[in-house]
């Protein structure tokens, strides 16, 4: 009797906790803080029968699994779902590992091939009762399974019967934070850094747990805490203790921390006279530093390194090469199973060179020479996170080297946190790109997931867009890019439509009409931004420094390749960078099937036309229009889309909560203003070369070219 009373008391306590959580979420204002984990009640007709939760284990991760299922199921079903000690009713969820749960062990589910992060969700029978089993080899795997189950509920997917078996396609799924030690964020548009270094390690912001939980819900398992333009202080004893405090919060959610390492740290912290990677004292310093870090943080991931790029020190400072630098650091962390992520964003300014070719020229000759625990992190395109780029030629070009894509979630070149730009279609375009490295079907995805070249260590990184703003990302719709990145990192084959639908339902509403409208706006948004910023293959024509507004006329930077004029090369004949044999010939870095397609003006995709060609103003396109008219109409089309999007959003008043509806409406108003500014400024400038009138359907500019040149757009 006493045992039953104790069990009932425990169940009542858990039920009360769940109820209080549900009530709290109801009264909280919709400010975006809960992201896609709102767990608002489903429509009454879409609520399946879930009786209770049996969750084994008492570790921090097991507690996180239990808490998530209680909160999620209670919220979505509109009633308290309690924790039970045994299966007594149909519709019970049983979650755990074979080691932690005799019930899971007894089911003998197929977990052998799922590794440490995979999971099974299966309808089963236990004690004559119908149950839903969420099983994994590890508690972190069970946590991922729990989040996936809740995602099915949110999306109103059928959960009877279930037979799901998943594991991540990529091993390292990480966010790169460009956060500085002073709390600022380079290319951050959502407030200050989440890491309050001045208070750590004694005080840890509870928000860090919410950050880790949000990442775990997507399967993101790593984060680099500091800017790739690193400060050596991040590796001193004081800051390592602070990093250890963050790592302790992240650990129950399956996240490892990485640090961006400044290559010259042995000089700045260790007092050495050199940072030459072949110097024995330098190598010893890094080994000692690695030992120090792992003593504090046993699951430390390793180092992320930006070297010999944009003024950062590196091995070439000492007449060594990138392999020398990367492998020296790799040797330091190898005894601890650590990883070195070496960024491929390197380019040397010299007369007549093409920046788009620089990374390939610098690194491809070293194919096969990097250590086994080195990942070469390569941006999706060969320039720098532009609204549209062709895939980077290093993908496929280094078959003996472990590559990982680097995507940018924060919208440095896509309107910051002011513009609605859902990036899943852009990433889908990149991942689906066929490199022809081993014939047709050699997609970037197959290179990234290791299947094309049997790559042993795989990963993908996204430059984070999170900050201290209450809604995390500055723009409510920017949350969708964090979400999409995480889901694609787990499964790079997911469609943009599925990701948009999932996110809308979890974040905003299950109203069918609203879901259709919002999903459509998300899927159309990236192409619209490209239209009013950089159509037909234009790139890097942003205002210098901040990259927010247009400045195709800008030519004042000390390096030619930091000037927009370097990239578009407008003249009276036409527009665009000739990268064929008659120009830089960087197109030759691609495999023949791709090279030949890009190099021929007749077969080059029109959305990359001026990336590869200097296109005559009167060149006839597939539409039948001349190039100048097509360019102008693309700019107008982008502006028109934003106007229509504003009307579509306004029509959702009353369906979307008032707070977020008003906030997004304000952002869309800014986006319309900016889109018109982009259109007018660019067309007026390019018109000075084309000498042609604007075609019918394109609005007259609101200001003069001199007025646009005089002042940048404000964000």
Backbone angles phi, psi at 423, to 5 degrees: -95, -5
* 69-98 residue pLDDT tens: 999 999 999 999 999 999 999 999 999 999
- Radius of gyration, alpha carbons of the chain: 27
230: closest CA among 314, 295, 321, 338?
314
- Per-residue pLDDT, 8: 45
Structural domains present in the chain: 2-166 (3.30.379.10), 172-507 (3.20.20.80), 531-577+614-710 (3.90.1330.10)
Secondary structure class of 133 (helix, strand, coil) = strand
**Residues carrying an active site annotation:** 310, 384, 412
Q: Which DSSP letter does residue 606 get? A: G
Summarised one tens digit per residue, pLDDT across range 486-502 is: 999 999 999 999 999 99
3-state secondary structure of 426: helix
SS3 labels along 503-557: HHHHHCCCCHHHHHHHHHHHHHHHHHHHHHHCHHHCCCCECCCCCCCECCCCCCC
Residue 437: which of 382, 395, 402 has the closest Cα? 395
Distant-in-sequence, close-in-space partners of 112: CB < 8 Å, separation ≥ 6? none
Q: Which residues make Cβ contacts (< 8 Å) with residue 701, sequence separation at least 6?
A: 679, 680, 681, 683, 684
29-38, 187-196, 345-354, 582-591: which range is least confident on average?
Answer: 345-354
Q: Which residues are within 8 A (CB) of 295 and not within 5 positions of it... i.e. 6 or more apart?
A: none
Nearest to 482 by CA among 194, 34, 175, 212: 175
| pLDDT greater than 70 at residue 10 | no
Residue 594 CB contacts under 8 Å (≥ 6 apart), including other chains: 434, 435, 436
3-state secondary structure at position 256: strand
pLDDT in tens, 608-665: 999 999 999 999 999 999 999 999 999 999 999 999 999 999 999 999 999 999 999 9
Residue 23 has pLDDT above 50, yes or no: no
Q: Pairing mode, if any, of strands 302-305 and 256-260?
A: parallel
Which of 96, 89, 79, 78 is CA-nearest to residue 15? Answer: 79
Mean pLDDT of 534-560: 96
Residue 29 has a pLDDT of 74
Instruction: Tell me the residue length of the chain.
Output: 715
pLDDT for the residue numbered 111: 98
pLDDT score, position 97: 98
pLDDT in tens, 143-199: 999 999 999 999 999 998 999 999 999 999 999 999 999 999 999 999 999 999 999
Q: Which residue has the higher pLDDT, 481 or 10?
A: 481
Share of residues in the chain with pLDDT > 70 (%): 96
Return d(Cα 262, Cα 232) in angstroms, integer. 5
The neighbouring-strand residues paired with 626 are 620
Q: What is the residue-averaged pLDDT of the chain?
A: 95
């Amino acid at each position: 009797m006493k045992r039953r009373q104790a069990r009932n008391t425990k169940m009542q306590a858990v039920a009360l906790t769940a109820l209080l959580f549900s009530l709290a979420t109801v009264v909280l204002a919709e400010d975006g803080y809960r992201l896609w984990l709102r767990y608002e009640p489903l429509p009454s007709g879409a609520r399946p029968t879930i009786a209770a939760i049996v969750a084994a284990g008492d570790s921090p991760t097991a507690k996180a699994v239990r808490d998530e299922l209680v909160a999620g199921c209670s919220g979505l079903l509109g009633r308290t779902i309690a924790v039970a000690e045994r299966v007594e009713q149909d519709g019970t969820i049983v979650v755990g590992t074979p080691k932690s749960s005799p019930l899971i062990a007894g089911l003998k589910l197929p977990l052998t091939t799922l590794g440490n992060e995979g999971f099974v969700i299966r309808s089963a029978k236990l004690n004559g009762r119908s149950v839903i089993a969420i099983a994994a080899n590890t508690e972190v795997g069970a946590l991922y399974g729990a989040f996936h189950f809740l995602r099915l509920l949110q999306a109103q997917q059928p959960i009877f019967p279930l037979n799901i078996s998943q594991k991540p396609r990529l091993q390292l799924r990480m966010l790169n934070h460009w956060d500085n030690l002073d709390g600022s964020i380079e290319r951050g548009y959502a407030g200050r850094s989440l890491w309050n270094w001045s208070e750590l390690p004694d005080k840890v912001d509870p928000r860090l747990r919410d950050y880790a939980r949000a990442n775990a819900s997507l399967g993101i398992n790593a984060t680099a805490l500091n800017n790739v333009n690193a400060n050596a202080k991040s590796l001193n004893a004081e800051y390592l203790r602070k990093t250890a405090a963050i790592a302790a919060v992240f650990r129950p959610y399956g996240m490892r921390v990485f640090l961006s390492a400044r290559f010259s740290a042995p000089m700045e912290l260790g007092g050495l006279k050199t940072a030459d990677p072949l110097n024995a004292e330098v190598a010893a310093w890094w080994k000692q530093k690695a030992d120090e870090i792992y003593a504090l943080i046993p699951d430390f991931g390793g180092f992320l390194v930006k070297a010999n790029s944009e003024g950062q020190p590196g091995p070439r400072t000492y007449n060594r090469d990138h392999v020398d630098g990367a492998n020296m650091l790799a040797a330091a962390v190898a005894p601890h199973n650590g990883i070195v992520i070496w960024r491929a964003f390197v380019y040397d300014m010299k007369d007549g060179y093409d920046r788009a070719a620089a990374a390939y020229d610098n690194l491809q000759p070293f194919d096969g020479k990097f250590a086994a625990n080195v990942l070469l992190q390569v941006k999706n395109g060969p320039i720098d996170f532009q609204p549209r780029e062709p895939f980077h030629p290093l993908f496929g070009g280094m078959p003996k080297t472990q590559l990982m894509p680097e995507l940018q979630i924060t919208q440095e070149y896509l309107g910051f946190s002011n513009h609605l730009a859902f990036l899943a279609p852009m990433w889908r375009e990149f991942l689906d790109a066929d490199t022809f490295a081993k014939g047709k079907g050699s997609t970037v995805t197959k290179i990234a997931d290791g299947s094309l070249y049997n790559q042993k260590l795989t990963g993908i990184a996204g430059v984070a867009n999170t900050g201290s703003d209450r809604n995390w990302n500055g723009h409510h719709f920017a949350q969708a890019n964090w979400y999409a990145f995480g889901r694609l990192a787990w499964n790079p084959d997911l469609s943009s439509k599925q990701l948009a639908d999932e996110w809308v339902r979890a974040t905003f509403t299950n109203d069918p009409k609203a879901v259709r409208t919002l999903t459509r706006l998300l899927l159309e948004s990236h192409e619209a931004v490209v239209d009013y910023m950089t159509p037909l293959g234009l790139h890097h024509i942003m205002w210098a420094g901040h990259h927010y507004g247009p400045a195709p006329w800008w030519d004042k930077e000390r390096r030619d390749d930091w000037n927009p004029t370097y990239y578009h090369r407008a003249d009276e004949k036409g527009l665009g960078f000739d990268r064929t044999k008659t120009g830089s010939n960087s197109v030759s870095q691609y495999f023949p099937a791709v090279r030949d397609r890009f190099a021929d003006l007749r077969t080059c995709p029109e959305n990359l036309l001026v990336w590869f060609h200097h296109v005559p103003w009167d060149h006839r396109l597939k539409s039948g229009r001349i190039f100048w008219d097509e360019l102008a109409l693309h700019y107008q089309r982008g502006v028109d889309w934003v106007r229509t999007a504003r009307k579509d959003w306004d029509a959702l008043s009353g369906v979307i909560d008032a707070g977020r509806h008003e906030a997004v409406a304000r952002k869309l108003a800014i986006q319309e203003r900016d889109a018109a500014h982009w259109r007018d400024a660019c067309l007026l400038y390019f018109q000075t070369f084309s000498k042609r009138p604007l075609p019918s359907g394109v609005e007259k500019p609101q200001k003069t070219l001199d007025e646009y040149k005089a002042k940048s757009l404000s964000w």
